[in-house]
Amino acid sequence: MVGLEIDRKFLVQDRTILAGLPATHYRQGHLSTDPARTVRVRRAGERAFLTMKGASAGLTRAEYDEIPPAYVDELLDGLALAPLVEKRRHRPAADGVTWEIDVFEVDHADLVRVEVELSRADHPLAIPLWAGAEVTDDPRYPNANLLAHPCRAWWERERVP
């Protein structure tokens, strides 16, 4: 059966949540950024993923994921579309769910986005005080879009921090 991804995304308004939290370095690139079928390759510490996602339907979309790590660096260095996205991920738990706080690097430095994966679209969710504006439906924030449109460029144009 196809896995389903159900998630919500927010900006982080209070970065003090990061103090003392362990982080995992992520290096990722895309083989396809077509919204109907994105293909991402990712190294997360010692784990490796080749993720294929279908088109979004609200908060939900089809997702296939983890692979053996033997070839992930070759895929990232040889086949992935440039530039790669690099970030540090922190995973605090709050109110029974694990939040994934991404601190972006390089072209996206200063972007700190948090995502929470839910078991169902109508899952009741208490938003932590450190979370800011919800960007789940904002087309600027998916990783595939950040590749083509680094946030530094549009932040300067729109004066949106």
What tens digit of pLDDT does each residue of 53-78 get?
Answer: 888 777 787 777 777 777 788 888 88
Q: How confident is the model at residue 21 (pLDDT cuts 50, 70, 90)?
A: very high
pTM, entire model:
0.80
Query: 158 forms bridges with which residues in the sheet?
Result: none
- The CATH number given to whatever domain includes residue 56 is 2.40.320.10
Gyration radius of the chain's alpha carbons: 15
Confidence (pLDDT) at 1: 44
Specify the 3-state DSSP secondary structure of 50: strand
Q: How confident is the model at residue 113 (pLDDT cuts 50, 70, 90)?
A: very high
Q: Which domain holds residue 130?
A: 3-158
Cβ–Cβ under 8 Å, residues 102 and 17:
no
Number of H helices, E strands in the chain: 3, 10
Domain count for the chain, please give it: 1
